[in-house]
Amino acid sequence: MPKQTLGRLVWLLCLAFALMGCKEKIEIVEEIRAIKTVTVSEQVTERILKFSGLVAAVDSSDLSFQVGGQVASVSVDIGDQVKKGQVLAVLDPEPYQLDVDKAAAQLGKAREQVNESKSQLDRQQRIYDQGAGVKSHLEAAAYNLKAAENEVKIQVARLELARRNLRKTSLFSPYYGTIAWRSMEPNEEVQAGQKVFEINAKGKMEVHVAVPENAIDYIYIDDAVTVTFPTVPGESTQGRISDIGSAAIEANAFPVKVALVGPNRKVKPGMSAEARFSVQDEDRKAGFKLPLQAILPAAEANQGYVFVYDPRASTVKKNRVRYSGLTQAKVIVTDGVAVGDIIAVAGVSFLADGLHVKLMKQ
């Protein structure tokens, strides 16, 4: 056989084997998706109410002079730590010292008048006892003595008031704390009662929130509250309701105070806070807490779908559910699930009814 013919034969045989290989059946392997799940547990009827507020010191005071005058000196500034009884500022004492001196002089004059009136009364009494006096003169002398004694009492009170006003030219700290606000400088004129400092006491702090009228009946004194702070991310503090206002204020909201229990040292008066109240609602239908990401949204309000894992068939079933609200990033599902159901909680948009799945290794 010629070599050329033999080569063609070998080439045809190779081509035939190649075509036979292309006709072999291609096997398709199904990829089984791994899912993360939670197991439905006990029912809940509680809900979470969230309100914004401000941190404040439990003991906080606006300070002012009880007398007016020119500021002589200011000893502290915003942020300074102060002790109880420490002098914060002083007014010019000279005008008040002059008032003290004047009152003291007037008191001395009044006492001299008492002595003179006593002498006059004694004189009139002797004349009257000798039978040469007139009773009306004796009565007038007695009246003058009484009036002089009353004048002494008046001047004593005026002197005490002048001395008090002199003492009030110095402003003292009422307790250990921090200066939170200041509004005066030396040589300025201030009026009696004008706010010049705000001081926050050391120690206990609270959060002031306004609770709407439609929620106020769900909270009670001493209820537990969880408080978070936007400026201190990742930190939360427990608190308890310490005071509930008896009358609504702005926007028909009631003032509520939440006493903080062991707050973070970074928390300061004036910071923003969010208070979360966990309340029991007897009118609310019982439900199950599920992570928000477990719900595949539906077109209807407060409805959606969950995928329930069947361990016998290793498949998921798509169940329609109803939910009534959110609490701590979870939905309260009231219909469509039962205790013990294993619910897919991640990637639900990629699941389908009857899909074969496997559980993700924890």
Q: What would the pLDDT profile of 163-195 be if each residue is shown by its tens digit?
A: 999 999 999 999 999 999 999 999 999 999 999
Report the alpha-carbon distance of residue 298 to residue 321 in Å, rounded: 9
Report the alpha-carbon distance of residue 143 to residue 125 in Å, rounded: 13
Who contacts 17 (Cβ-Cβ below 8 Å, separation ≥6)?
Answer: none
Q: What is the pLDDT of residue 145?
A: 93
- Least confident piece of the model among 2-6, 204-208, 302-306, 317-321: 2-6
Angle between helix 94-129 and helix 135-167 axes, rounded to 10 deg: 160
Contact 258, 206 (CB under 8 A): yes
Convert the pLDDT of each residue in 198-234 to its tens digit. Answer: 999 988 899 999 999 988 988 999 999 999 999 888 8
Convert the pLDDT of each residue in 78-100 to its tens digit. Answer: 999 999 999 999 999 999 999 99
The number of C-alpha atoms within 13 Å of 226 and in the hemisphere containing its C-beta is 11
* pLDDT band for position 348 (cuts 50, 70, 90): confident
Q: What is the pLDDT of residue 54?
A: 95
Between 48 and 21, name the one with better pLDDT.
48
Share of the chain above pLDDT 90, in %: 57
Between 278 and 28, name the one with better pLDDT.
278
Q: What is the pLDDT of residue 275?
A: 95
- Least confident piece of the model among 75-79, 169-173, 325-329: 325-329
Name all domains of the chain by residue range, CATH numbers in brackets: 34-45+284-359 (2.40.420.20), 49-58+203-280 (2.40.30.170), 60-92+169-199 (2.40.50.100), 94-167 (1.10.287)
Q: What is the pLDDT of residue 327?
A: 60
Report the alpha-carbon distance of residue 153 to residue 156 in Å, rounded: 5
pLDDT higher than 90, residue 302: no
pLDDT higher than 80, residue 296: yes
- Least confident piece of the model among 67-71, 72-76, 326-330: 326-330
Between 108 and 282, name the one with better pLDDT.
108
Q: What is the DSSP string of 198-248?
A: EEEESS-EEEEEEEETTTGGG--TT-EEEEE-TTSTT-EEEEEEEEE-SS-
Report the alpha-carbon distance of residue 224 to residue 258 in Å, rounded: 9
Tell whether the torsion through CA atoms of 210, 283, 287 and 42 is positive or negative: positive
Q: What is the pLDDT of residue 250?
A: 84
Report the alpha-carbon distance of residue 320 to residue 233 in Å, rounded: 36
Give the chain's mean pLDDT. 87
Bridge-based pairing of strands 33-35 and 357-359 is parallel
pLDDT higher than 80, residue 326: no
The first and second tokens of residue 207, run together, are: 């959060």
Q: What is the DSSP string of 98-150?
A: HHHHHHHHHHHHHHHHHHHHHHHHHHHHHHHHTT-S-HHHHHHHHHHHHHHHH
Report the alpha-carbon distance of residue 204 to residue 105 in Å, rounded: 50
Q: What is the pLDDT of residue 214?
A: 87
Report the alpha-carbon distance of residue 22 to residue 41 in Å, rounded: 55
- Partners of 70 in beta bridges: 189
Between 90 and 345, name the one with better pLDDT.
90
- Partners of 309 in beta bridges: 316
Residue (of 199, 188, 164) closest to 85 by Cα position: 199
- Least confident piece of the model among 130-134, 299-303, 313-317, 334-338: 130-134
Span 281-291, average pLDDT: 72
Span 292-310, average pLDDT: 90
Count the Cβ atoms, other than its own, within 10 Å of residue 118. Answer: 15
Tell whether the torsion through CA atoms of 314, 318, 322 and 325 is positive or negative: positive
List own/partner pairs for 315-319 with CB under 8 A and 24 or more apart: 315/354, 315/355, 315/356, 315/357, 316/35, 316/344, 316/351, 316/352, 316/353, 316/354, 316/355, 316/357, 317/353, 317/354, 318/351, 318/352, 318/353
The first and second tokens of residue 65, run together, are: 């002079």
Q: For tokens 């007014």, what's the residue?
A: 91
Tell whether the torsion through CA atoms of 291, 296, 300 and 303 is positive or negative: negative
Span 133-141, average pLDDT: 87
- Least confident piece of the model among 8-17, 77-86, 116-125: 8-17
